[in-house]
Amino acid sequence: MSSSLPSVAASVTGDSERVLARSEFHRLAQVPPETEWFANIDNERTRRAYRGDIREFMQLVGIERAEEFRMVSRAHVLLWRKRLEERAVQGSTIRRKLAALSSLFEYLCERNAVASNPVKGVKRPKVESYEGKTPAIGDHQARRLLDAPKSDTLKGKRDRAILSVFLYHGLRREELCLLKVKDICERRGVKHLRVHGKGSKLRYVPLHPETAGRIDEYLDAAGHKEAHSSALFRPVRNNVHGHTDDAITAGSVYRDVVKKYGEQIGLTMERFAPHALRATAATNALENEADIARVQLWLGHANIATTRLYDRRRMRPEDSPTFKVKY
């Protein structure tokens, strides 16, 4: 029976040579499930945050080896939550940290590495508000921001297109940076953006006519409209490599586009960043009677509760009783 294994493996791989040495094969078979869980997190920002959360928990309870996670009890988790509360850590941050630890233990349970998830049953801080903390700007401010970049320079054309993608389509900053020229595609006769979202999930967002026009103007000026596999939004100049074939970076989008033009039109609110434009797009769509379930799909939210954070329809300043008072 065992003598037939090499031939079976060769028929599956189509190659009679081993890809892995035997020692490598056994080493991979012995990878702890804790390591597998971490490697399976696709989003780099989530991975970075969870890494810090798990490391913090390990330091508190004295875990030095992955195998010691099997000895963690609910008492350890309660102690961690208490220490976080004593440090006046925000409730939303505590919720995320507990979610990170719970996610790890759920995976360990699936692998039969532990009998139960000690985070289950540990109360998490209540959501302070059903309104998201990311600010949304007003319609008049959005219009001024859209028109702030110059329309007669390459950088201005690019930045006008970038701001339009944010404000009409609600993309995340990383999603915008990942767009390629070929991601402008037609579906049922309508131009769409093919968006590469969190967790490698694809979604298709209809392209707003104003955005389509701005992107066309930018691509005509930049000269890479036919380079279908290249980045859609590129640096105007690159002082590091000397070429501009790579995609614009997330840092540059914040610093050289959103922050720059926000300051130019006098936006001084705290936490004003590309995500504020995503919040603005979602808020505007909901105020104009877009179905919240469709907005959820449009934004690429896994949970509709996240979409509800952008639903500010009951909190519009113009609807306040303040403006109903007459003397």
> Is 172 annotated as catalytic?
yes
User: What is the residue whose two structure tokens read 């507990």?
Assistant: 98
Q: Select which of 81, 234, 310, 312 is catalytic.
A: 310
Distance, CA of 153 to chain centre: 31
Q: Select which of 81, 234, 275, 312 is catalytic.
A: 275
Q: Could you tell me if 119 and 75 are in contact, meaning their C-beta atoms sit under 8 angstroms apart? A: no
Those residues with Cβ within 8 angstroms of residue 95's Cβ, 6 or more apart along the chain or in another chain: 124, 125, 127
> Is 310 annotated as catalytic?
yes
Sign of CA dihedral 127, 129, 132, 134: negative
Q: Select which of 191, 196, 198, 208 is catalytic.
A: 198
Bridge partners (DSSP) listed for residue 181 = none
Q: Select which of 172, 214, 234, 312 is catalytic.
A: 172
Distance, CA of 325 to chain centre: 43
Q: Select which of 259, 301, 308, 314 is catalytic.
A: 301
> Is 301 annotated as catalytic?
yes
**Cα(89)–Cα(84) distance, rounded to whole angstroms?**
6
- 224: tokens are 């890479």
| β-sheet with 202-206: strand ranges across | 184-187, 190-196, 202-206
Q: Select which of 76, 97, 173, 278 is catalytic.
A: 278
Catalytic machinery residues: 172, 198, 275, 278, 301, 310
